[in-house]
């Protein structure tokens, strides 16, 4: 009886190990593209997927700028990456996407101090439906509006360094997402509404990448939306305390580690020959179609226009981002 139970347990563990390494962990980026002489900016690069992405790109020789909210954690992450990669060009710069003022100050500082921008990775994200200091839904501002403004302000530098790339870390959570233009930017309360806000923002990410690609056609600046898989990160740090033990157990068993979650970001940042797929959606280092409502070009165009209005930007961009800095 004991022997049978042990054999059954061994079989289950073996099946789990196979499932984890062959399905849950996802595909690895296998290219060896070097990035020496290139500058990469990663939002939220102090932890999780962003930090794992930064480490890989630092090992390829890139100059890495970690744009993060917490100075101590950002500087600590930069130190860790420098030590692990042997690359001393890994720096922290302060950026809080929940503050549009912070985004503008960051962009001005970056443009004054950094002559190059070759790869811009919109990685930072939050799953919280609270209110930002600007009065917007926190998840929608951090995951979409803040990045929209950041990209707008830095686009001129990307164009000067073309061919260059812009990556948007989205999610398969866009499936239940909805873009209700009257309410998508408004704060909400409660766990379920906060999760819905997160899904809405991830849908916005994919629609944004589609519209941005249309507007950048012919500029040699390409963009890609990315689903990193289900990953053990701190994005759900705001969930209720009573839910955390269940989440951490489930995520430990069935979610990818941050290195696994970073692979598609690394792929889209480095893989040669994918320029023709600008604006498209990548999963496990492969091109994939998102859900149909994420392919609606009319909604994508309107989302762009509404985002411009919410941010107080002139309509019809991209415009000269450098000119916007004087209008703070």
Taking each helix axis as running N to C, give the angle between helix 297-311 and helix 191-215, from 0 to 180 degrees, rounded to the nearest 10: 100
- State how beta strands 164-169 and 63-68 pair: unpaired
Q: Which of 198, 208, 224, 281 is catalytic?
A: 198
What is the C-alpha separation between 266 and 261, in angstroms, rounded?
10
What is the C-alpha separation between 298 and 302, in angstroms, rounded?
6
What is the C-alpha separation between 303 and 182, in angstroms, rounded?
11
What is the C-alpha separation between 233 and 263, in angstroms, rounded?
15
SS3 label, residue 120: strand
- Residue 242 DSSP class: G
Taking the CA of residue 293 as centre, how many other CA atoms within 13 Å lie in the half-sphere pointing to its CB? Answer: 15
Question: Has 198 been annotated as catalytic?
Answer: yes
Taking each helix axis as running N to C, give the angle between helix 263-270 and helix 48-59, from 0 to 180 degrees, rounded to the nearest 10: 40
- Residue 131 DSSP class: B
Q: 89: which 2 tokens?
A: 């060009």
**Dihedral sign of CA atoms 271, 274, 277, 283 in order:** negative
Classify residue 322 as exposed, middle or buried by CB count within 10 Å of its CB (0-12, 13-18, 19+): middle
What is the C-alpha separation between 185 and 139, in angstroms, rounded?
9
Active site residues: 198
């Amino acid at each position: 009886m004991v022997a049978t139970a042990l054999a059954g347990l061994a079989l289950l563990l073996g099946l789990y190990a196979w499932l984890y390494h062959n399905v849950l962990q996802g595909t690895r980026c296998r290219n060896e593209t070097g990035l020496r002489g290139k500058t990469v900016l990663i939002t939220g690069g102090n932890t999780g997927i962003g930090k794992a992405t930064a480490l890989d790109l630092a090992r390829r020789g890139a100059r890495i700028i970690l744009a993060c909210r917490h100075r101590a954690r950002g500087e600590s992450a930069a130190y860790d990456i420098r030590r692990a990669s042997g690359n001393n060009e890994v720096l922290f710069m302060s950026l809080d996407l929940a503050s549009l003022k912070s985004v503008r100050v960051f962009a001005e500082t970056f443009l004054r101090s950094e002559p190059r921008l070759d790869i811009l990775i919109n990685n930072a994200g939050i799953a919280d439906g609270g209110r930002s200091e600007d009065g917007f839904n926190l998840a929608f501002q951090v995951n979409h509006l803040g990045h929209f403004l950041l990209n707008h302000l830095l686009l001129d530098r990307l164009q000067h360094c073309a061919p260059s790339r812009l990556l948007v870390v989205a999610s398969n959570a866009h499936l239940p997402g909805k873009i209700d233009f009257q309410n998508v930017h408004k704060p909400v309360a409660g766990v379920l509404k906060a999760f819905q806000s997160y899904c809405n923002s991830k849908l916005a990410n994919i629609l944004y990448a589609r519209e941005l690609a249309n507007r950048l056609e012919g500029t040699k600046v390409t963009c890609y939306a990315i689903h990193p898989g289900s990953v053990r990160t701190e994005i759900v740090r705001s969930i209720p305390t009573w839910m955390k033990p269940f989440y951490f157990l489930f995520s430990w068993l069935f979610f990818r580690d941050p290195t696994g979650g970073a692979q598609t970001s690394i792929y889209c940042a480095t893989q040669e020959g994918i320029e023709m797929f600008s604006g498209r959606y990548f999963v496990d280092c492969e091109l994939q179609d998102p859900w149909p409502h994420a392919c609606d070009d009319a909604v994508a165009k309107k989302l762009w226009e509404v985002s411009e209005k919410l941010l107080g930007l002139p309509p019809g961009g991209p415009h000269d981002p450098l000119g916007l800095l004087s209008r703070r």
